[in-house]
Structure 1
Amino acid sequence: MDDGNRPPSRIPVSTYRLQLNNFFRIADASRVVGYLSELGITDIYSSPYFRSGPGSTHGYDVVDHNSLNPELGTEDEYEDFFAEIRNRGMGQILDIVPNHMCISCNGNAWWMDVLESGQAARCAEYFDIDWDPVKTELKGKVLLPMLADQYGKVLEAGELVLKFEEGAFVLCYGELKLPLLPETYVDVLKHRISSLELLLKAEDPYLTEYLSIITSLSHLPGCAEQDAEKISERYREKEIAKKRLFTLCSNNGDIAKFVDENVTIINGVKGDPKSFDLLDELLSRQVYRLAYWRVAADEINYRRFFDINSFGAIRVENPDVFWGIHGLVLRLIKEGKVTGLRVDHPDGLYNPTEYFAQLQRECLYLLTSGTQPGQAEVLQAGADHHEQQEKATLSFYVIGEKILMKGEKVPDEWLVSGTTGYAFMNKLNGIFVDADAAKKFTRIYTDFTGSRSTFQEIVYEKKKLIMEAVMSGEINTLAHVLSRIADKDRHTRDFTLNSLRKAIIEVIAFFPVYRSYISTDSVTERDRQYIELAVLKARRKNLSLSGSVFDFLRDILLLRFPEGISDGERKTRHDFVMRFQQITSPVTAKGVEDTAYYVYNRLVSLNEVGGAPERFGSPVDAFHGHNIGRLKSFPHTLNATSTHDTKRGEDVRARINVLSEMPAEWKKHLALWSRLNRRKKALVDGNPVPDANEEYLFYQTLLGTWPTSPMDAEKYVSYKKRIVSYMQKSIREAKVNSTWIDPDIAYEEAMTAFIDSVLENGHDNHFLKSFSPFRNVVMHLGIFNSLSQTLMKIASPGVPDFYQGTELWDLTLVDPDNRGAVDYESRIRILADIKKREEQIGPMELAREFAAGREDGRIKFYVTYKALAYRKANREIFETGDYLPLEASGERADNICAFARRLGERTAVIVIPRLLGRHISEPAEPFSWRDIWGTSAVLIPFATAGDSYRNVFTGETMKVDSAAISLSKVFADLPVTLLERI
């Protein structure tokens, strides 16, 4: 981000993510806008609400970017939603999906166009399809791996059904309807045509029209046609033919009956395999090949979103695609209904830098001119690409869903206000993990599970597993491209396809970040280091593979072109690099987030998106340094502690972090619980279920998610189902004892039986008797962590972001668990009660009341409400004010994190406790902290004796004594403090 760029049009003070779906629609969202405004939220952060696949729970399966999702609401309800936001003076950040579309349902007109006309389709270049793939049988075709079983079985079971609808032939598979090539209608229309000619006289005008339609369809320009005039002719004539055929069949019953009979014959008869030959032949002539969904890993020839077959990647770098998916959102921006954008998965784009630049250019043009969306030129005619890049400015609030690895920063070239907040979340989480216990915890984990693998070793193996088992088709395609490049040079043509493929796999397995961002003929120093590090590690790991192969791949990736290379070869090499970059990201996401995070379970609160589980905690100074950097580079980036993508809710992580403070107790309880539950394990293939690593994860999960309030029988059953679902997902993601591709049902049933037995509610359940006291300790200490991270999120540089429902305790797990319904009615009542009682008894007594009954979550709600209100009223301090780390003195100096935000004479001081497990023997007892903090104090070097500060949460005023404030006073009533200089 260039600090000299024009500032975004609207900066949110705080955001709140609303997850729209069938049980929380636009009308429901409208009803909570007022509540969120009163809570202190300034901007609604909406999940995608463009037309999606039927029953979508998330909105990322978009089928039409230019229409609102009717399943979520009517046009009037959307307008009411926009009006409610505007009337409250709020903004709206909208989540958009420029990388992919859903291609597995009927609403995607672009995809259906491709399936009907192949390479001659107007939308053929919209999707990333390889029409000349490695498998020659797929040349000119697109593989559709969507069948539930082998193609032959599905065909002969009668599940593929040909239908004639309004002049067109379609193939139905369940609810899905696939178009047929219009030229292949002839196969249906000409079948048994002699019997039709016997039925109708030769001079019959209806027969003449029928034969004329067949002739017209037979002479359509082909589906591989690339000439623009021929393609226009094809579109014109195929639609005319459909209309003629529909009219003919509507007007002549004999012909309609004849066509229907042909359709019935071609559909075959279940139990007679040979009767399906006609349908098989018809399908073989289409531009798509239907296949079993498992075939995708090896043979798929369109780029997907990660490994999801139903999400086809789109080429947003194509100007037609850019405008084709941004027309509606740009109109909403023009009308002031959308004031910010969250861009999903920019790492999947061909050129993220140029995408963000173009997005900013168009937003600026719309916001500063009277032009309506769609009338602006996408690229200025004849303008130099580099000059256009310089014209782009940060004119609109855009954040990118970017996952940063260790030491990585957002590319300077990206015109964004920041990211969705994973980096902040992990830096903040680290200060609540006791780094001094790292060795002890590692020993406990390895002794219990028997695993000696480091996290990085697991990442390496799992990324390779993904490339071999899930994305081998993409890797094979890349290897063949590299092989063709090698064949062009006599110095490299002896490199075998196998050696090149292995080199690609090894380099990606060691790639230290999600991707590089090479887009021109130059390579940044940042990307050069990433590439050379990956190649170096891959080379050292594979001494049996010629080093010259790795040198060749390195030089390609670094755009080191041989002398005398042609422009065509230069373009081929550059395109290989761009494709390589698009593959490293999904491999890393699947290998790390969706596999390694479920295998390495030492302390699972560290296994978070963008996290580094091998780093056991981080010092407070590192957190301060991160905040100072954010204030300088991205002051308006999001601060998140939970998102729809996080592996655990924020309060689950806060609890599990507590275990790092008590390794001895954790070890003791692990041994006890394992012994108590040993007989509850069933044997599958001679091995006990769960294995030790899964059991280790299970106990952490119970400690993190067990509800704070007592459960009745119905809630207890619901809770057990959640744990069963989570553990099933975990073992499939880990890909050790079961997988999504090939689930081990026997193993999973044994896991379910184990959980049911362990959680059986009864007086003789010795596990639960042992579990409850320890769980209470972890829960109450976790509350301190939760409140601390809530306040730190609100007061740190950046925009605090709240995931739906997290104003109370958030004990959810990974999706779909975290996408459940939120009880807003109770939250509205709590807010109203807080306001009423604050007037009646004052903030001091209210704070004490909430602190005493902190299990119900109102204390978190209160901290959130009061801190957001203060930030909203003093936004300048937090947006542009200095960030000053504060030190502490005394015996508990290491147990706090404190900083000040200053702007002129205005000062806010934030103090939170950390790592209190060693010092609080009975955390469930009422607050009485003077003995804990003793003479410890927070130092305020810029203060003078006699300065007064008001506690925002309690209203209490306290004076500075010798440039310090006693922690006993600071934490007298609440375990977190926000002080305002009076």
Structure 2
Amino acid sequence: MSDRAEAPPASTYRVQLRPGFTLDDAAGRVDYLRRLGVGAVYASPILAAAPGSQHGYDVVDPTRVADVLGGESGRAALVARVRAAGLGLVADIVPNHMSVAEPAANPWWWDVLRNGPGSRFARCFDIDFARGPLLLPVLGDDGDDGRAELDLLGIADGCLTYHEHRYPLAPGTCAPGDDPLLVHERQHYRLVSWRRGDTELGYRRFFDVTTLAGVRVEDPAVFDATHAEILRWAAAGDVDGLRIDHPDGLADPGGYLRRLRARFGGWIVVEKILHPGEALPASWPVDGTTGYDALREVCGVFVDPGGEAPLTELAGELGAATDYAAVTAQARTQIAENVLVAEVRRIAALLPDAPRERGEDAVAALLTSFVPYRSYLPEGEPDWAAAVAGATARRPDLAAELAAIDAAVRADERGEPARRVQQTSGMVVAKGTEDTAFYRYTRCAALNEVGGSPDLFGVAPAEFHARAAEREASWPHTMTALSTHDTKRAEDVRARLAVLAEIPAEFAVAVRRWSAAAGLSEPSLDLLAWQTLLGAWPISAERLAAYLGKAAKEAKLRTSWTDPDPAFEAEVAAWPQRILGADGVGAEVAAFAARIEAPGWSNALGQKLVQVLGPGVPDVYQGTELWDLSLVDPDNRRPVDFAEREAVLARLEDGWLPEIDRSGAVKMHVLRQALHLRRDRDLSGYRPLAATGPAAGHVLSFARGPRCDTVAVAVRLPMGLAAAGGWRGTRLPLPGGAGEWRDLLTGHTLAPDRSDGFTAPALADLLARYPVALLTRD
């Protein structure tokens, strides 16, 4: 079987299934998606998930479709509707972990708790049974390690009870009238304080989430059990592609993917976060990633590098962090030494010759030193060596312990020390960077995105073209994305925030005045709050308060999820209403937001056209066919008004050319034309196009297709363009050849400039109506 799918989708449209938007609801939108130009419906996980799940990544039973989503009949109905429309179907699957939040909901976990190591499902979970009873960190804790909560244990219906939670009893461990505390002591598990989850956990978890237990999918029998239902769909021809969640958590990602490829011949993409410059392992038999690498490049090319120094100066003046390397190092160290202590100790225990404390310090130093999320040995040996060298340079006092870890890993690259370190480094890097440093280093929030590196201020056009050409040559069927369910802010928010890099001095003057009058007391959150207000304007106080509350906890500077500061959180919660209700500052913010709104729209249209027409398989996140000003989850999982979108689509189908306004109809117009073109034409190949004239740096353009007969054109840095006097005679020479060029967005045809067909339209004319053009030649 080939390493890569033979027929990937032309594009995908991500739908977030949940109790309020089921498989039947998705089926009802298939015709709309077909008319929009989408190639495949891309569904969030549909297997049975934890009660009340709003996303599906907390699977409790991999053998059946979630009843709350419509069950097997709902899945079959969606497949039938998709096939009738001539579309594909892509499924999101979660091989790394299962939810154990409600033991009764997970039959495998229930059996493990009941029967311990003797359970037939014990091999399914990554549990260290040698440590004794399995610790379940669920008890409330008022500073007594949860001891008072043990008095609340009870026995009911043959189960151990704690509040509304139920836990199984091992056979023969409970007789009528037995003391619940004594019964508890007879089980294969112990209920302990929730605070001990970070330090004493006996099972591998997903990041720091103790309610998600790691699955040993590297075991062939476990792979078969967890994938039987998914592979049944594949065998029936019901699914065309698979999106693999969190491969970095797997013991052997490459081995897992090779086993999957042997059973599935369709399109496979992995949620692999590539650090800038990092390559996807060539040995993985997949079609690419889920697109965060492309997101950085597409969004970055619309950011003005000239804004870096002024915005850095502003951050420093306000008291926010300006040294990204120091911020990330501190954040990763905090994660390794305070949040993922259980994982660090489990690795250190594999080094019997090292004193416990020094061994743990060495493991923590190593885990914080990776540049990419993890190494993939043996091919990732350079990344491994660099991490060891980096840790040794920072902690020469631990050189002996680090050398011991290095030796243990190199002695057996598939052994437990190597496996544990590789699985855990990704946890430390992701939690330390995305979920901590990105909320502390806030000089330019447009750059603080999954897959990005905020210290790299934008992407030059030359780099963009080089990366795009490389993608077309090496990973032509990788997914590309601008918004996902995991992005920190929606694509249109980033597009508007990118404008601030063009007017950094003006922004700095405003923020200095606003902060002095009504700023938050923590500088990095204060700077982030003003940017968020501008990027998501207009926004309700409720939405903004929810976002800032989460941001404050993720930053872990003045408060956190596990060590809250009620007074600071009250300040943050009250801030949005205080600002939005103020005539002075609130009015100024509204005026500034209005000033950057139109150039933000220009950026948004440009990055959308560039994404959809560029190399790879573009994904459209639900609802983003119109302007979307969502923030981080759960804000970006709000219901989508499909009725509104269908009404806009109907007008576009009748030939309407919308204005650029707050309706967002123009974005759907650009997207619809690009998606249909992508579905109908061969867009292989990639050729950068260069403009000529004084404003050449303000246009990004490239040609696609075997004959370079499709061209995308987008304005970049629109405020700088206007300030410099516009296009001033700048032209865009188009690829030569026979045929007349036509702009699919306006319907205008371009007259050749010479008898041989050479065409070089003036950009002032070409982009007179829209800041983008989609040119085709028959």
Shorter-chain TM range is over 0.9
Tell me by how many angstroms 1:148 deviates: 2.7
Q: For residue 171 of structure 1, what is the amino acid of its counterpart?
A: L
Q: Deviations over 1:931-960 (max 9, x none)?
A: 6112101123x416x852110111111024
Unaligned stretches of 5+ residues in structure 1: 134-138, 189-258, 267-277, 364-394, 488-494, 562-569, 679-688, 708-715, 839-845, 922-928
Tell me by how many angstroms 1:6 deviates: 6.0
Which residue number corresponds to residue 250 of structure 2?
Answer: 349
Tell me by how many angstroms 1:768 deviates: 2.0
Pairs aligned (count):
770
Of structures 1 and 2, the larger Rg is shown by 1
Which residue number corresponds to residue 148 of structure 2?
Answer: 153
Q: Deviations over 1:303-338 (max 9, x none)?
A: 001111110001001122111111111111111211
Which residue number corresponds to residue 657 of structure 1?
Answer: 498
1:455 aligns with 2:308: no
1:690 and 1:751 in contact (8 A); partners too = no
Which residue number corresponds to residue 515 of structure 2?
Answer: 674
- Distance in structure 2 (CA, Å) of the matches to 1:16 and 1:859: 18
Which residue number corresponds to residue 535 of structure 1?
Answer: 388
Tell me by how many angstroms 1:695 deviates: 1.2
- Distance in structure 2 (CA, Å) of the matches to 1:657 and 1:24: 33
Q: Deviations over 1:403-440 (max 9, x none)?
A: 00122111011111111000000011111111122222
Q: For residue 505 of structure 2, what is the amino acid of its counterpart?
A: A
Which residue number corresponds to residue 163 of structure 1?
Answer: 156
- Distance in structure 2 (CA, Å) of the matches to 1:144 and 1:112: 13
SS in 2 for 1:402: coil
1:943 aligns with 2:736: yes
SS in 2 for 1:644: coil
2:8 and 2:477 in contact (8 A); partners too = yes
Tell me by how many angstroms 1:7 deviates: 4.8
- Distance in structure 2 (CA, Å) of the matches to 1:174 and 1:515: 40
1:128 and 1:302 in contact (8 A); partners too = yes
Tell me by how many angstroms 1:693 deviates: 1.7
- Distance in structure 1 (CA, Å) of the matches to 2:71 and 2:425: 40
- Distance in structure 1 (CA, Å) of the matches to 2:752 and 2:273: 42
1:737 aligns with 2:544: no
Q: For residue 170 of structure 1, what is the amino acid of its counterpart?
A: C
Q: For residue 794 of structure 1, what is the amino acid of its counterpart?
A: V
Which residue number corresponds to residue 640 of structure 1?
Answer: 481
Which residue number corresponds to residue 161 of structure 2?
Answer: 172
Which residue number corresponds to residue 621 of structure 2?
Answer: 803
Which residue number corresponds to residue 291 of structure 1?
Answer: 192
- Distance in structure 2 (CA, Å) of the matches to 1:889 and 1:671: 40
**Residue 440 of structure 1, aligned match among 286, 289, 310:** 310
TM-score (norm 2): 0.96
Which residue number corresponds to residue 132 of structure 1?
Answer: 130
Q: Deviations over 1:889-935 (max 9, x none)?
A: 1111010111111314x6111110101112336xxxxxxx9x61121
SS in 2 for 1:21: coil
- Distance in structure 1 (CA, Å) of the matches to 2:586 and 2:752: 48
* Change over 3 Å in CA distance of 1:459–1:6 after alignment to 2: closer
Unaligned stretches of 5+ residues in structure 2: none
Q: For residue 207 of structure 2, what is the amino acid of its counterpart?
A: F
**Residue 513 of structure 1, aligned match among 350, 353, 372:** 372
2:276 and 2:293 in contact (8 A); partners too = no
- Distance in structure 1 (CA, Å) of the matches to 2:550 and 2:498: 22
| Higher mean displacement: 963-972 or 16-25 | 963-972
Which residue number corresponds to residue 727 of structure 2?
Answer: 933
Which residue number corresponds to residue 271 of structure 1?
Answer: none
* Change over 3 Å in CA distance of 1:335–1:675 after alignment to 2: same
Which residue number corresponds to residue 142 of structure 1?
Answer: 134
- Distance in structure 1 (CA, Å) of the matches to 2:116 and 2:715: 62
* Change over 3 Å in CA distance of 1:954–1:963 after alignment to 2: closer
Which residue number corresponds to residue 914 of structure 1?
Answer: 716
SS in 2 for 1:850: coil
- Distance in structure 2 (CA, Å) of the matches to 1:152 and 1:505: 30
* Change over 3 Å in CA distance of 1:660–1:959 after alignment to 2: same
**Residue 695 of structure 1, aligned match among 518, 526, 544:** 526
Tell me by how many angstroms 1:766 deviates: 0.6
TM-score (norm 1): 0.77
Which residue number corresponds to residue 964 of structure 1?
Answer: 760
- Distance in structure 2 (CA, Å) of the matches to 1:782 and 1:450: 25
Tell me by how many angstroms 1:610 deviates: 1.0
1:601 and 1:693 in contact (8 A); partners too = yes
**Residue 425 of structure 2, aligned match among 578, 581, 584:** 584
1:888 aligns with 2:729: no
* Change over 3 Å in CA distance of 1:450–1:783 after alignment to 2: closer
Q: Deviations over 1:217-269 (max 9, x none)?
A: xxxxxxxxxxxxxxxxxxxxxxxxxxxxxxxxxxxxxxxxxx4xx2xxx4xxx
Which residue number corresponds to residue 236 of structure 1?
Answer: none
Tell me by how many angstroms 1:342 deviates: 0.3
- Distance in structure 2 (CA, Å) of the matches to 1:791 and 1:858: 14
2:269 and 2:286 in contact (8 A); partners too = yes
- Distance in structure 2 (CA, Å) of the matches to 1:693 and 1:74: 46
1:84 aligns with 2:77: no
Tell me by how many angstroms 1:503 deviates: 1.6
SS in 2 for 1:932: coil
Which residue number corresponds to residue 120 of structure 2?
Answer: 122
1:943 and 1:960 in contact (8 A); partners too = no
SS in 2 for 1:408: coil
1:757 aligns with 2:578: yes
SS in 1 for 2:686: strand
Which residue number corresponds to residue 592 of structure 2?
Answer: 774
- Distance in structure 1 (CA, Å) of the matches to 2:222 and 2:385: 34
SS in 2 for 1:805: coil
SS in 1 for 2:627: coil
Q: Deviations over 1:703-733 (max 9, x none)?
A: 10013xxxxxxxx7xx110000000000000
Q: Deviations over 1:757-791 (max 9, x none)?
A: 11116xxx111222222111211110000000110
1:104 and 1:176 in contact (8 A); partners too = no
Which residue number corresponds to residue 48 of structure 1?
Answer: 45
1:58 aligns with 2:55: yes
- Distance in structure 1 (CA, Å) of the matches to 2:356 and 2:195: 24
Tell me by how many angstroms 1:9 deviates: 4.7
SS in 1 for 2:69: coil
Q: Root-mean-square deviation (CA), in Å? A: 1.7
Which residue number corresponds to residue 423 of structure 1?
Answer: 293
1:146 and 1:309 in contact (8 A); partners too = no
1:947 and 1:959 in contact (8 A); partners too = no
Q: For residue 506 of structure 1, what is the amino acid of its counterpart?
A: A
2:3 and 2:261 in contact (8 A); partners too = no
